[in-house]
Each structure stands twice: as C-alpha cells, then as structure tokens.
Copies of this chain bind each other. A is one copy, B any other.
Amino acid sequence: MVNIETIDVFYSLHSFQEDELRDKTVVIIDVLRASSTIVTAFMNGAKAIIPVGDMGEASKIAQNVDSDNYLLCGEKDGEKIEGYDLGNSPLEYLKEIVEGKNLIFNTTNGTKAIKKSLGSSKTYIASFLNVSAIVDELKKQENEIVLVCAGWKGRLAFEDMLLAGNIIHLLCNGSLPNGSRDGAKVAFGLYDKFGDDISTVIHQSNHATRLKDIIGTSDIDYCCQVDITDMLPRLKEGMITLTDG
C-alpha cells in the first residue's frame, strides 16, 4: 500500500545523489524521448536493453558482444550518433528491426538517470504510453517511491514533471495530502494546472520546441499518447527487461 506522503520527485538527474535512491522503488521519466523509446522497443519485441552512461561505455560493450544479436542505439543532443544502428526516435524501433534483439542504449539525459538508480530496490521506466501500468504497479509497493525526471542538462523539463504529476494525481485520486513532499506538490500543481490537454501543452514545452527543429513533430505526437500499452520495463542487474511483477 503506497504512502503518498513519502513519494518524492527529483526534477533532473543532477538534483540528487545515487545514495538518495538506495532501497527505494524508482520510476525513471524521460518523456521526450528515452522512456517512450524504451517502452516502444519492448512493445515491438526487444529482448533486453542495456542503458549506458556515455559513448565510450557503449562502444566497449558493443565490441564484446555478437553484433547479430545486438543493436547500438541512442542520440547525442537530439541527433542519431554516427555509426549507430538506431537513434532515439521511438518510430524507428519497428518490430522487424528490434524483435528478439538486445539494445545498447545511450542518450543525453535518460540513460544517465537510469544508471544513477542502480542501487535502488526496483527501477521502472515510465512514459505516458504506459502510465496506468506504472501506477498499478506502484500501488503494490512497500518501499518509498521516488519519481526521477531526467530533465534536460540539469534543468527541469515540463513534460517530465507533468508525467510525474499525472502519476501522483492517479495514486492519490486527485487529492494530495498536506504532508506530501515539496517535489510531489510541485509536480501535482503542474498537472493540476496543465493536465487537461497533455498533447497541446507538451508541444509548447521547451524540449519539444528544440526537438521540432531537429526532427519534426511526429515523435512528439507519438510520445503524448496515453496508455497505449501495459508494458512494464524494469531495470535488473544493469539490464532493462519486461517485469514479471
């Protein structure tokens, strides 16, 4: 039974230390686009995803695995990395490309946030695509819960905070206890104000505005869809797979 008053929200991957996630149930949020891409890869049959912190780590792992079964994936500053099999657009992660494959995944903010949660008790990957599945799973937790918004280079990202607020709103049935943590109140306030039309407000966010110039709007449209899947990706021993609960 989840205790809402103990839920915390970190608004960027630079706003906390690894120690603050120890023994917690952690939810990683990077709506545009790492979380949404991870969820999509599993929807299309990917076997496992190895999150890495930088290009060096990605290359090292890639050199030591069978390239028939592994794909090197990710982006730097929103763009596909030269020599990689896939970028960070969920629309690239088609069934015919990712089914049965292991993905080495390297992004500017999202995978770094995932790496910081290695000492947690459990870590799930959340997007709007699978928000209800995440909420159902969180309702079963005994641990304290931390929602980690990846943010953007140390800043908060509107769309990540909005999803955090959506999760809290669902967990507390729209009524936040007075004793809740500061981070939870900030995310809840944002969702309360802007949650009626998720797609429109996310399109107006700073990150979406930056991405539109690089990749157009189709990724953003895709990532704003709510509950199109019940996939529940979970980090276990450094690797993301589908959870068995």
State the A residues within 8 Å of B (CB). Answer: 10-12, 14-16, 154-158, 161, 178-179, 181-183, 185-186, 188-194, 204-207
Give A46 Cβ to nearest chain B Cβ, in Å: 30
Q: Is the CB of A179 within 8 A of B204?
A: yes
Q: How far is the CA of A205 from the CA of B183 in the complex (A)?
A: 10
Q: Is the CB of A193 within 8 A of B188?
A: yes
3 tightest A-B CB contacts, nearest first: A189-B193, A158-B182, A189-B190
8 chain-A/chain-B pairs, Cβ below 8 angstroms: A11-B156, A157-B182, A161-B186, A179-B204, A185-B190, A186-B186, A186-B189, A190-B190
Q: Is the CB of A182 within 8 A of B194?
A: no
Give A34 Cβ to nearest chain B Cβ, in Å: 17
Q: Is the CB of A155 within 8 A of B189?
A: no
Q: How far is the CA of A11 from the CA of B156 in the complex (A)?
A: 8
Q: Is the CB of A155 within 8 A of B15?
A: yes
Give A9 Cβ to nearest chain B Cβ, in Å: 9
The answer, among B10, B182, B194, for a CB contact under 8 Å with A206, is B182
Q: Is the CB of B182 within 8 A of A186?
A: no
Q: Is the CB of B194 within 8 A of A155?
A: no
Could you list 13 further interchain pairs (A-B, Cβ under 8 angstroms) beyond the known A15-B155, A156-B186, A192-B193? A11-B11, A14-B15, A16-B154, A155-B182, A158-B182, A158-B185, A161-B182, A161-B186, A182-B207, A189-B189, A189-B193, A190-B190, A192-B192
The answer, among B16, B182, B191, B205, for a CB contact under 8 Å with A205, is B182
With CB as the reference atom, state the residue of chain B lying closest to A8. Answer: B155
Contacts A15-B12, A189-B192, A193-B189: A155 and B178 contacting too (C-beta < 8 A)?
Answer: no
- A193 contacts which chain B residues (CB < 8 A)? 185, 188-189, 192-193
Contacts A16-B154, A154-B15: A185 and B194 contacting too (C-beta < 8 A)?
Answer: yes
Contacts A178-B204, A204-B178, A206-B182: A16 and B189 contacting too (C-beta < 8 A)?
Answer: no
Q: How far is the CA of A192 from the CA of B191 in the complex (A)?
A: 11
Give A125 Cβ to nearest chain B Cβ, in Å: 22
Contacts A189-B189, A189-B192: A16 and B155 contacting too (C-beta < 8 A)?
Answer: yes
Q: Is the CB of B158 within 8 A of A186?
A: yes
Q: Is the CB of B181 within 8 A of A206?
A: yes
Q: Is the CB of A155 within 8 A of B179?
A: no
